[in-house]
Chain A
Amino acid sequence: MQGFERELLTLLPRLRRFARALARDAADADDLTQVALERALKARDRWQPGTRLDAWTMKIMRNCWIDEVRSRTRRAQTFAPEEAGERVGADGHRDIERRAQMHDVDRAMNALPPEQREAIALVLVDGLAYREAADLLDIPIGTLTSRLTRGRQALAQRLEAA
């Protein structure tokens, strides 16, 4: 195994945790991890040695996730991206059942718009600094902090009520 793969292997526990915070449940999270790993391996020539592989791979994973959220949203025929998280369950019966078994935290995270959810996954779950998370998402730091704040307010409200 070469350095690149070895580093990825080292990052896997963290990547899986990040995927878990993004995806609906554990099964979806590992699917996401697999897709992201495949994409990372394919794109390895574009990685600059000496730069941070963790940020690079997490960005790939985040893009894979966004693709999935968007296609799911299209399938649900909703055109309001803000509501994508809310519409996740609109896929059908199986999803409703699956949702009923979800843990409180998963459910609350699922109800967030994707842009709040990814901010929370990066900062609160992975532990990135605001600056690092903003760079990874290519957004100004003020945008990141306002998404973080709104997301946390919504989560706290849901979870404290539960």
Chain B
Amino acid sequence: MAVDDERLMAFLDGELDEVARARVERALAGDPVLRDRLEVQRRLRERLAAWYGPVAGEEVPERFRRMLESRVVDLSSARARRAGPLWRNFAALAATLVLGLLIGRGLAPSSTVMLEDGAMVARGELARALETQLASAPPADAATRIGVTFARADGSLCRTFEAEALAGLACREDGGWRLVASAAGTGGAGGEYRQAGSGGALVLAAAQEMMAGDPLDADGERRARDSGWRNVAARD
């Protein structure tokens, strides 16, 4: 099947339905030229994310704050609201995108992320790393690197991670790890993406957006793990 650029990009954007996606995957599997075209577009996507993404993580200039804070300044509740529904929408979109990226990259169903009831949930090696690994004491042979661990405004715990195919942000929900944001990972083929913010710029911006208070330190991280990643008392 001929796959035109429009379809290839829709694939990359996670905008195809299952049937159309499977068709593109099949075409990709047998067509190195098509894979190269996909790669070019994936690289472009990463380049845009690496250049513009960090803007969302910058501190907002004071003059904008002042324009809006004409009345009572209430930063703590503003911060708590960052984890609100608008963000979740965006995160869901990001997660959809990643499914496309994973399939596009590996050409095989991923065993580390599963779609369950419309949510992306960590499985396998990734779930194990999120569940057991400490950023302060990573195993020498770890395929997944854990970044920061922090609490959201509702008290649930989230962790950023980075693996070869996928970087992301997962939060503890219903006894599992739900992906709330993600981007292409550090590595794969040439490794030429490593310097481009390692796909993690967006993820880090997402983490900063959702973070209530400071990230956990090494002790806090260990205690959180040992208590089964129970929600911490909601704080602002």
Q: Is the interface of A mostly helix, strand, loop or mixed?
A: helix
- A55 (CB) vs chain B CBs: closest residue: B86
- A105 (CB) vs chain B CBs: closest residue: B51
Q: Mark A121-162, 1 if CB is under 8 A from B, else 0.
A: 001111111100000000000000110110011011001100
Q: Does A84 contact B (CB under 8 A)?
A: no
Cα–Cα distance between A52 and B65 once the two chains are bound (Å):
21
Interface residues on B, range: 35 or more
Cα–Cα distance between A33 and B40 once the two chains are bound (Å):
31
Q: Does A67 contact B (CB under 8 A)?
A: no
Contact between A16 and B86 (Cβ–Cβ < 8 Å)? no
Q: Does B154 contact A (CB under 8 A)?
A: no
Interface size on A, residues (CB 8 A): 48
Chain B nearest Cβ from A158, distance in angstroms? 10
Q: Mark A16-44, 1 if CB is under 8 A from B, else 0.
A: 11001100000001100110011001000
Task: List, sorted by A's number, 18 A–B pairs whose CB atoms are closer than 8 Å.
Answer: A1-B74, A9-B65, A11-B86, A14-B90, A16-B55, A17-B52, A17-B55, A34-B64, A37-B64, A37-B67, A38-B67, A105-B47, A127-B93, A130-B10, A148-B6, A155-B48, A159-B44, A159-B47
The 9 nearest A-B residue pairs measured at CB: A13-B56, A17-B55, A105-B51, A5-B68, A17-B56, A149-B6, A12-B60, A20-B55, A1-B71
